[in-house]
Structure 1
Amino acid sequence: MRHYVEMPVRSPAARRGLRPLAAALALATVSAWAQDAAAPPAAPASSPPAAVRNSLLDAPLFYQLLIGEIEAREGQPGAAYQVILDAARRSRDETLFRRAVEIALQARAGEEALTATRAWRSALPTSQEALRTELQILSAMNRLDQAAEPLRALLLLATPAERSGLIAAVPRFLQRPADPAHSARLVEEVLKPYLEQPAHRVAAQVAIGRSWAAAGDGERALGLAQQAHAADPAAEPPVLLALELLPTRSEAEPIVREYVARPDAEPALMLLYARALMTLQRYPDALHQLETVTRRKPELAPPYLTLGALYLDLKQPAQGEAALQRYLALTEGAADTKADDSASTGDDDASTPTQGRVQAWLMLAASADQRGDYAAAERWLAKIDDPQRALEVQARRASMLARQGRIDEARKLLQAAPERSPQDARAKLDAEAAILREAQRWQDAYDVMAKALKTSPDDPELLYEQSMMADKLGRADEMERLLRRVIELKPDNAHAYNALGYSLADRGERLGEARDLIARALELAPNDPFITDSLGWVEFRLGNRAKALELLQRAYASRPDAEIAAHLGEVLWAEGRQDEARRVWAEARGRDARNEVLVETLKRLKVRL
C-alpha cells in the first residue's frame, strides 16, 4: 500500500499562485459544499419560515478547501489529503471527512484512508457512515483482526428496529476475505451476544451461517439454518440460506419445502426454489413448484416467464406458449422500472418488464420456428426493437432460413450482422455452427469451430464443441484428444468426462474406463439426467440390465428427453418388455421426432410405431 509523504499545509499551489482553470473548478466544489453545509432541513409547506442558519464556511476554511481541491486536481493527493482532513477536523463536517477518505482511496493509500475514517469517528462518534467506511477499508486491506470493534460499535448504534437488518448485513461488510474461516469466526464472535436475544436470534444465526457457508463449512451453516428455521418457521432469511446450501447440501431442502408449503409463503422464494430445482435438473419438481405459484398468485407475472421457458425446454410447446402469452398479458403497459420484488430473483435477462417481454418474444419466436410457423416467428421478432438483442434476433432469423433449407442464406445473414464486441463475434460463430450442426453439415461446422479456435486455442467450450464435430466425422482419436485437453484445462468440467465416457460406451470400447469417466462426471454434477443416462447406457453395454434399467428410468423421470427415451426403450426391448418400450418411444417421438439417437435406434431394431 502506498503512503503519502508528510507535507506542510502551506502547499505548492499556494506558493506558485492559483491557475485560473484549477481555481474555477475548485471554487465550484467549495461552493457546492458551502451550500450543502448551510442548507437547513426541508420543512413542510405549511411550516413557518426556518431560522437563518449561517454557513460554517468562514474565510480561512474557504481558502483551505480551495487549496485542497486545487492540489487534488493537479495531482498532489498527499497535500490535498492533509489540507482537507485538517479542514474536516476543524469543522467536524461529514462531507469533508468523506472527501478526505475519497482522496486517499483514489491514490490507493489505505493507511491514510483508515486514518481519516478514525478521525471521522473521533469527531462524530455516532456516525454510522464513518463506521461503515472504516469496515469497508479494513476488509479491503484484509485487516479483519481490527474489524471486531467497529462492527460492535455499529450494531450498538442501530435502533432496535434497525438492528436485525444490520446483523443480516454483517457478512457483506467483510466481503471476499483472504481467510474466509477467519472472517466466519469474527462474525460468530461479534454476533454471539445476539444469539441470546429473541428479537435478533434468527438474524444472527443466519448471518453466522452465511459466513460459514462462504468459508466452505456447509455442515455448520446447515445446522445454523435449521436452528433459525425451527425458531421462526415463517422467517424468510433461513430459507434463503437453505437455498444457497441446496446445490451441495440436500439436507437443506426440508427447510425450503416446509416453508413453501405454507399458505403465506412469499412467491419470490417459491420462484427461487423452482429455479434452484431447474439448476439441479429436477424438472418435474420445478414444474410442480411453478404451477403452484401461478395457481396461488395468478396475477403475478414473473413465474409465467420461467414456466414458459421450462415447458419449451421440455418440448411441450403448447403449454410453453400459453404461459408466455399469459406473461405478456400481465405485463402489458408495465412501466420500465425495476420489476416487482417477486421478479428480483437473479434472472438478469428479465429484471424489468421490458426485458422480460423481449425474452418472451424471443422464446415465442423460437417455438414457432420449431413447429415450422415462420410467419408467426417473424411477427414475434418484429416486436423487438432493442439494439442489445439485435444479434439474437438475427440468429433466430438465420435459424428460420436454415429450417427452410436455405443454409447459405442463413450463414450470410449471420456473417453480415454487426459486431459490437469480441463476445458478439464469438456468438456469431456459435450460431453459425449451431445451424450447420442442425443441418448435419458436420465438416462445415467443424471448420467454423476451427476458425474460432485460432483466436482462442485454449477455450474449453470451443474445444468441447470441436470434439463433438470430430465425433460426428468419425474421428474418434481426435475427439478423445480434444476432450482430454478440456479436462486438463478445466478439471471440473462434468460434460467432458461424460462425453468421453459415453463415446467409449457407445462404441463398446474400454467399458470399465468409460464407467469410471461417467461416474466422475456424476460426482461433479449429481442428479444430471443426461449423465445418469450415460451411466445407464454403459451398464447396459456391460450386461448389467437391471442396473441400467434403474438408472435410465430415473433419468427419464427427471428429464423425458428423446435420447434418454431411446436408451430406456432399448433396454426394455432387450428385457422382452416390448409394449413398454413402444410406449416410451412413441412418447419421445411425439416430443422430438427428429432426434438422431431415437431415429437410429428404431431403424436398427426395425421397430415401427
Structure 2
Amino acid sequence: MNRRHCLFPALLALAFAGPVAATATAPIGEVMAGEFALQQGDLPTAARHFLQAALASGDPAVAERATQVALVGEQPDIARRALARWRALAPAAAGMHGASVRLSLGQGDHDDAMDASRALLALGDPGFEVLLGVLSEARGDAGVIARAVTRGLFEQRALPDQLAAWLRWAGVARRLRDRTLSERIIDEGMARFPEDPRARLLEIARLRESGEAAAAREKLVALRDSGAILPGLRRVAASEFARQGDLRGAADVLGEGPQDDASLGQRAAWLVLAEDRAALQRLYAELRAAGAVPPPPRRLLLGHVAEALDLFDEAERWYQGVPHGAGSDLALLRLARLHDRRGDPARAIERLKDLQSDTSADGERVRDSYLVEADILERGDRAGEARLALDRGLAVFEGDPVLLYARAMLLERGNQVDAALADLRAILAEDPADAQALNAYGYTLAERRGAYAEALPYIERAHALLPDSAPILDSLGWVRFRLGEREESLALLRQAWAKLRDPEIAAHLGEVLWTLGQRDEARRLWREGAAIDPDNRALRRALETFKP
C-alpha cells in the first residue's frame, strides 16, 4: 500500500487541528514553513521546522504541534526533542504524557511506556481518558507493547477503583486482541464490585446466555425494582429486558427520565413489536404533547406510531407534514407503504416514483423504493412488472446486492431457477462472504435442483459466518436430512424452530420427526406452521406427502 495513502487520515487530523498561531515568542518563519511543508505532505521537513519553532518558543502549543507532526511523520528523534520541550513547558499536560506513551510504544520501549502510562493515570480522569485512546489506537509492533502495558497496569492495580473504568479497560484489551485479559478483567471486576449495577447487569446477561432464563429474569426485575438503574444505564437495562423477550418492560425502563428522539423511537419500535396498543396510545399522547409544531424527525415518529394504531388519516398528515429535506425521503417511503395498506397500490407506486425521481434523496431510501414497488406489484399478481421494477433499480444501482437478492428470490418464486442462481452468483462474485446469498444459493440448489451434496458447502460457509441465524440453521438441517444425517438434522432444525417460528422450518422439522417415528409432534408442528401461513410451499408439500 502506498505510504502516502496510509498517512492520509493522520494528515487530515493534523490539518483539522488548525495551524499554530504565531506569537511574539514563536518564530513566524519556522511556523509558516512547517505549515507549508505539512500541506505538501512533507512531514519530515514539517517536523524539523516545527521543532526549531518549539525550541525558540515559550508556547507549549508550538511544542505540542512539533511533537504531533514528528510522531505522525515517524521521526522519533525529532519527536523526542519536541516532547522534552513540551514537558518543560507543560509538565502536567495529559496530552504530553499521552504523546510520551505513543512514542514509547512506537519505539518498542515497554518500561518507558509503563512510566508514561502511570504518569497519565496519576492525573485522574483526564489522564485515564487519554491513555484509553492511545492504547486503543496501537497497532502492529506498537500493539504488542500496548497489550503488555494494558496487562501490566491491570495486574499492578493501577486503574481507577471503579467498575466502569475496569470495563472500559476490558474494552481496550479486546481491541488489542487480548480476549483472555478482557474476560479476566470483567470477571474480577464483577467479583470486586458485586453491587455495582453494571456488574449485576453483566451477571444477568451471562445467566441469560447460559440458558438460565428464569434466574436472569428474577435478577433483572429485582435490579429494576431496587431503583439502582441510573440514567446512564437505562438503555443497557432496557436492552436486557428486550433480549429476555419483555418488550413492554424494555419500553417502560427506557421511558423513565428525560427523552430524546432515539429513546422515543426505540420505545415505539418495541411497543409495535409487542403489539401493545394501550402502551402505544400512551406514547402517542406523550409525543403529541411534546410540542405544537414538532420537528421533522418527530413527525416521522408520530406518523409511525399513528400508523401502528391504525390511525391512517393522522399518519398520512404527519408524513405529509415533513418538509422537503432531511427525512422527506423516508416520509415518502412510509407514505407509499401506508397507501398500500389502505388498499391503494396505484397511489403507493406514484409516491415511490416521486422518491425515485428525487435527486436529493438518500441513495439507500431510493434503492428501497424499488424493493417496495416490486413487493407491491408481486402481491398484486403482477410479477412481470415487479421484475421490471427491480431491473430499473439495478439500472440505477448497478450490481447492488440487496436488489440482486430481491430479484433472485422473485425469479425463484416464479420458477426461473437458472436466472435466480445467476443473480446469487453475481452477489457472491463481489462478496464471497455474503452469508444470506450463500444460504440462498445452497438452499435453491437443494430445494429446486435436488443437488444436496453440491449445496452443503455453501450452506456450511453461511453457517460459519452466522451460526445463530435461524434460516441458515434450517437450510443446514434440511440438507443434512436429505443427505441421510437424520439425528444431526433434528438438532439443527430444533435450534432453528426455537429461534424463529416459521412455517418452512415447521415443515422441515415435522418431516424429520415423522420419519423418526415422532408423528404426534410432527402433526403439532405442522398445525402451528399452518396457523402462520397455510400457503407455504414447503408446508403444503409436507402435508400432501405424509397426509397426517
Same-fold call, TM > 0.5?
yes
Following the alignment from structure 2 to structure 1, what is the Cα–Cα distance between the partners of residues 130 and 285? 37
What is the one-letter code of the residue matched to 1:399?
R
Of 224, 227, 238, 2:185 maps to 224
User: How much does 1:390 deviate?
Assistant: 0.9
Counterpart contact for 1:256–1:273, Cα < 8 Å: no
Instruction: Write out aligned runs for 1:274-313 (5 A).
Output: 275=239, 285-288=243-246, 290-294=247-251, 299-300=256-257, 305-310=265-270, 312-313=272-273
Alignment gaps of 5+ in structure 2: 5-18
Query: Matched residue of 2:467: which SS?
Result: coil
Instruction: Write out aligned runs for 1:355-366 (5 A).
Output: 357=298, 360-361=301-302, 363-364=304-305
User: How much does 1:205 deviate?
Assistant: 5.8
Instruction: Write out aligned runs for 1:467-506 (5 A).
Output: 467-506=408-447
**Paired-residue identity, %:** 24
The corresponding residue for 1:389 is 327
The corresponding residue for 2:62 is 96
Counterpart contact for 1:460–1:486, Cα < 8 Å: yes
Pair member with larger Rg: 1
Of 182, 197, 201, 2:157 maps to 197
The corresponding residue for 1:8 is none
The corresponding residue for 1:341 is none
Following the alignment from structure 2 to structure 1, what is the Cα–Cα distance between the partners of residues 532 and 57? 77
Counterpart contact for 2:473–2:496, Cα < 8 Å: yes
Query: Matched residue of 2:415: which SS?
Result: coil
Following the alignment from structure 1 to structure 2, what is the Cα–Cα distance between the partners of residues 600 and 453? 34
User: How much does 1:398 deviate?
Assistant: 1.9
Following the alignment from structure 2 to structure 1, what is the Cα–Cα distance between the partners of residues 429 and 130? 39
CA 1:496/1:399 → structure 2, altered by over 3 Å: closer, same or farther? same
Counterpart contact for 1:206–1:238, Cα < 8 Å: no
Of 70, 77, 98, 1:132 maps to 98
Of 419, 422, 428, 2:359 maps to 419
Counterpart contact for 1:305–1:327, Cα < 8 Å: no
Q: Deviations over 1:531-568 (max 9, x none)?
A: 23334544665687777666555434433345545656
Instruction: Write out aligned runs for 1:58-77 (5 A).
Output: 61=25, 64-65=27-28, 67=29
Q: Deviations over 1:407-436 (max 9, x none)?
A: 454334323332225545434434434443
Following the alignment from structure 2 to structure 1, what is the Cα–Cα distance between the partners of residues 278 and 55? 65
What is the one-letter code of the residue matched to 1:419?
T
Counterpart contact for 1:572–1:581, Cα < 8 Å: no
Following the alignment from structure 1 to structure 2, what is the Cα–Cα distance between the partners of residues 442 and 186? 58
Following the alignment from structure 1 to structure 2, what is the Cα–Cα distance between the partners of residues 578 and 422? 46
User: How much does 1:479 deviate?
Assistant: 2.1
Following the alignment from structure 1 to structure 2, what is the Cα–Cα distance between the partners of residues 406 and 203? 53
User: How much does 1:191 deviate?
Assistant: 5.2
Of 567, 577, 584, 2:528 maps to 584
Please provide the CA RMSD for this pair: 5.1
Query: Matched residue of 1:394: which SS?
Result: helix
The corresponding residue for 2:373 is 432
Number of residue pairs aligned between Structure 1 and Structure 2: 508
Name the TM-score, length of structure 1 as normaliser. Answer: 0.65
Query: Matched residue of 1:378: which SS?
Result: helix
The corresponding residue for 2:112 is 149
Of 156, 173, 184, 2:134 maps to 173
Query: Matched residue of 1:186: which SS?
Result: helix
CA 1:258/1:446 → structure 2, altered by over 3 Å: closer, same or farther? same
The corresponding residue for 1:530 is 471
Greater RCO (Cα-Cα under 8 Å, separation 6 or more): 1
Instruction: Write out aligned runs for 1:25-104 (5 A).
Output: 57=24, 61=25, 64-65=27-28, 67=29, 85-86=51-52, 88-100=54-66, 104=69
Q: Deviations over 1:95-142 (max 9, x none)?
A: 33345567x48x974536675344312433322222234556x59xx8
Q: Deviations over 1:255-307 (max 9, x none)?
A: 99898564434575564476589xxxxx7x4423x444455675245666435
User: How much does 1:332 deviate?
Assistant: 6.3
- Does the alignment pair 1:521 with 2:470? no
Following the alignment from structure 1 to structure 2, what is the Cα–Cα distance between the partners of residues 396 and 605? 42
Following the alignment from structure 1 to structure 2, what is the Cα–Cα distance between the partners of residues 149 and 257? 48
